[in-house]
């Protein structure tokens, strides 16, 4: 019975969405259909030409210099430069939910949930892979302005490396206090950089460093710095979440 009602409700919602989006009654839908989008009508066209604050016609990879935003990856430039405030909020979401998970699952004495006897190869092999994964994570968030990736997946990869050590080694308990400190410091620096920008340029979270030549590693001003901070913060937050989920209270 309940399923029938749910199906009917869902069909009604679906009918509403499809009829309003794709079959408007007076033929006046302003909804652009899939793939038929004209970017010139959107704010994004200015993000691509990087001419929000000044005149600029064309951005050429490896040649254009000192633009308002020096990132070759447009998604990164939107996330960390044009809409950096959203990203601050997003980091806060992860921060607060990691904190909440810690509060909910906290207990006095803790032990690892999946205790087993690891063999030598597993234990030391995992350490080897751990190093490689951390290097890859750091590469990812330090090249966020040039290649796909960036702070969020980079941080998550580092957290995944820690997860590997957890599973391979019974005695391994990451120092959670250190992660909390990293998380707090990275977040504080992000906000302080934003506040510093008010002093220097008059706008919160402004990119006040010179942006260099598009496509080189030392370009894009603050973007790589902020992405590294985000990577560290996300990495330590997800590590905190994983730690909370992997431990159980010892009953006594």
Mask for 134-163, x = binds other proteins (CB under 8 A): -------------xxxx-xx--xx-xx--x
Mask for 87-126, x = binds other proteins (CB under 8 A): xxxx-xxxxxxxxxx-xxx-------xx------------
Q: How many residues bind other proteins (CB under 8 A)?
A: 120
Choose among 34, 16, 36, 35: nearest CA to 25: 16
| Coil vs helix vs strand at 110 | strand
Question: Does 178 help bind other proteins (rule: CB under 8 A)?
Answer: no
The distance of closest approach from Cβ of residue 93 to other proteins in the complex, given in angstroms and rounded to an integer, is 5
Whichever of 61 and 124 has its CB closer to other proteins, that residue is: 61
The distance of closest approach from Cβ of residue 109 to other proteins in the complex, given in angstroms and rounded to an integer, is 15
Distance of CA 120 to the CA centre of its chain: 35
**DSSP class of 69:** -
Whichever of 75 and 132 has its CB closer to other proteins, that residue is: 75
In degrees and rounded to multiples of 5, residue 156 shows phi and psi of -65, -35
Q: What angle do CA 9, 12, 16 make, to 5 degrees?
A: 140
Q: Which residues in the 207-226 window bind other proteins by CB under 8 A?
A: 207, 214-215
Determine the interface stretch with other proteins among 117-125, 127-135, 168-176, 202-210 (rule: CB under 8 A).
Answer: 202-210
Choose among 62, 74, 71: nearest CA to 209: 71
The distance of closest approach from Cβ of residue 127 to other proteins in the complex, given in angstroms and rounded to an integer, is 20
Residue 176 has, within 13 A of its CA and on its CB side, a CA count of 17
Determine the interface stretch with other proteins among 123-131, 168-176, 197-205 (rule: CB under 8 A).
Answer: 197-205
- 134/131 Cα distance (integer angstroms): 5
């Amino acid at each position: 019975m309940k399923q029938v009602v749910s199906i009917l409700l869902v069909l009604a919602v679906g009918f509403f969405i499809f009829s309003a989006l794709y079959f408007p009654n007076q033929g006046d839908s302003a909804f652009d259909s899939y793939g038929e989008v004209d970017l010139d009508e959107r704010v994004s066209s200015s993000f691509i030409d990087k001419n929000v604050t000044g005149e600029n016609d064309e951005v050429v990879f490896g040649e254009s210099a000192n633009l308002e935003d020096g990132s070759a990856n447009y998604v990164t430039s939107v996330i960390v430069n044009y809409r950096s405030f959203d990203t601050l909020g997003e980091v806060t979401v992860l921060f607060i939910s990691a904190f909440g998970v810690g509060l909910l699952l906290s207990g006095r004495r803790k032990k690892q949930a999946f205790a087993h006897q690891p063999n030598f190869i597993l234990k030391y092999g995992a350490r080897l892979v751990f190093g490689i994964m951390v290097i890859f994570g750091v590469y990812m968030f330090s090249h966020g302005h040039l290649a796909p990736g960036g702070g969020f997946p980079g941080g998550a990869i580092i957290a995944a490396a820690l997860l590997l050590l957890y599973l391979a080694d019974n005695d391994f308990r990451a120092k959670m206090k250190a992660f909390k400190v990293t998380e707090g410091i990275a977040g504080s620096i992000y906000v302080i950089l934003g506040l510093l920008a008010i002093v220097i340029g008059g706008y919160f979270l402004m990119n006040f460093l010179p942006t260099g030549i598009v496509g080189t590693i030392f370009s894009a001003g603050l973007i790589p710095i902020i992405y590294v901070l985000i990577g560290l913060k996300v990495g330590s937050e997800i590590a905190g979440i994983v730690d909370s989920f992997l431990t159980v209270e010892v009953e006594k």
